[in-house]
Amino acid sequence: MKKPKRGISTDLIRHPYQPPAGFDAALPGVHKASTVLFANVAAMRARDWKQKIGYTYGLHGTPTTFMLEERIATLEGGLQSLLLPSGLAAIALVDTALLKSGDEVLIPSNAYNPGKELARNELARWGITHRFYDPMDAQALAEMLTPATRLVWIEPPGSITMEFPDLPRLVAAARSKGALVALDNTWGAGLAFNAFEVGADASVHALTKYPSGGGDVLMGSVTTRNPALHLKLNAAHMRMGWGVGANDAESVLRALPSLPLRYAAQDQAGRTLAQWWAQRPEVAQVLHPAWPGSPGHAHWKQLCTQAAGLFSIVFDARYGRAQVDAFVDALKVFKIGFSWAGPVSLVVSYDLKAMRATPAWQGILVRFSIGLEAVDDLIADSEQALAALNRAVA
């Protein structure tokens, strides 16, 4: 009997041609898979998603995501990394993997707000309590810890208000009562300081920001140096299904080689802008960890030479919301938006009184995220928009 020919659709799905092995290029290939195929039943039975010794399922990793995990671990000075669909998901993984009902988590009062909202809502519903602490007072943190405190978050510098805490003292305070320390390393990006040398157990990074660098990818990572802790996080990561797509992983892999250059350039431009603002009579305070007089500047100086291109200014109290809104609306090169570290310079205004229980200063705060445009254009844009601010006052 004549052997039937394979149907064309079968050949189009699994073609017998195999390209030659040994291809190499500047960038790694992109491996996309929900399903991973096994060579035989024995291989399927022997699968192990916990170690990176093979492939089991798209969620547990492909060569593309494994490569990105390894590069992020190296960037952060850690040993293992996990990738998640956003920086916020990375925060949620740490909370959910490391806390249980009856535990307490301490969060800096100036932390990234969605992480605080997670504590106020989901964690509270699961019987996990939280308190907010003043990150600029390590002694007060030490006094707050109880046997129930299992996790302390650290975020240098504070979101929006940019205070740079004394990291070694905060870590020492948490450790004195046996709590784990999770550090949000998004601002430092693995470049400004080493989270593990400071003593953190886990480093969370919104890869959405500098590692992606394009303003077009959402991703997060959790990096550790402790294999047992990694395994705990990895198990929760797997059960939650917080995997990432290979195309997004590829975008970050593509952007990583230029990360140190972009970070340095955005740092330099940010400091030039901060200095320009410090001379302006409209400004009451410049909030930038590298700026002398900014809260925690001495702590930054002890630990870092670099800084993210991110800073805030507080307008003099004579300028109200309407005037500052007029300033922000008049900006042309700066765009209004939240997610920093991309090529486009961004601006957001905040009313401090609505944000902090005890603001150390009054007035409307404007945060600038410096992108990659020419610095002179950013200064000229700020200057022309100040005319709108002053017109709105008049």
Ligand X SMILES: Cc1ncc(COP(=O)(O)O)c(C=O)c1O
Q: Given the complex with ligand X, which of 56 and 349 has the nearer CB atom?
A: 349
When the beta carbons of 88 and 326 are compared against ligand X, the nearer one is 88
User: Please, which residue, 31 or 367, has the CB nearer to ligand X?
Assistant: 367
Q: How far is the CB of 206 from ligand X (least distance, A)?
A: 3
Report the nearest approach of ligand X to the CB of residue 182 (Å). Answer: 11
For residues 206 and 385, which CB has a smaller minimum distance to ligand X in the complex?
206
Least distance (Å) from ligand X to the CB of residue 32? Answer: 21
Q: Please say which residue, 107 or 326, places its beta carbon nearer to ligand X.
A: 107
Least CB distance to ligand X at residue 31 (A): 23
* Least spacing, CB of residue 252 vs ligand X, in Å: 12
- Cβ proximity to ligand X: between 110 and 149 the closer is 110
Nearest approach in angstroms of CB 153 to ligand X is 10
Pairing of strands 335-336, 129-133: unpaired
**Closest CB to ligand X among residues 95, 184:** 184
Find the shortest distance in angstroms from Cβ 341 to ligand X: 9
Mapped to the 3 state alphabet, what secondary structure does the chain carry? Answer: CCCCCCCHHHHHHCCCCCCCCCCCCCCCCCCCCCCCCCCCHHHHHCCCCCCCCCCCCHHHCCHHHHHHHHHHHHHHCCCEEEEECCHHHHHHHHHHHHCCCCCEEEEECCCCHHHHHHHHHHHHHCCCEEEEECCCCHHHHHHHCCCCEEEEEECCCCCCCCCCCCHHHHHHHHHHCCCEEEEECCCCCCCCCCHHHHCCCEEEEECCCCCCCCCCCCCEEEEECCHHHHHHHHHHHHHHCCCCCHHHHHHHHHHHHHHHHHHHHHHHHHHHHHHHHHCCCCEEEEECCCCCCCCCHHHHHHHCCCCCCEEEEEECCCCCHHHHHHHHHHCCCCEECCCCCCCCCEEEEEEHHHHCCCCCCCCEEEEEECCCCCHHHHHHHHHHHHHHHHHHHC
User: Cβ of residue 111: shortest distance to ligand X, in angstroms?
Assistant: 8
The values of phi and psi at residue 120, to 5°, are: -70, -25
**Residue closest to ligand X when measured from CB atoms:** 87
Closer residue to ligand X (CB): 118 or 385: 118
Which parts of this chain interact with ligand X (CB under 6 A)? Answer: 86-88, 112, 159, 184, 186, 206, 208, 218, 220, 339
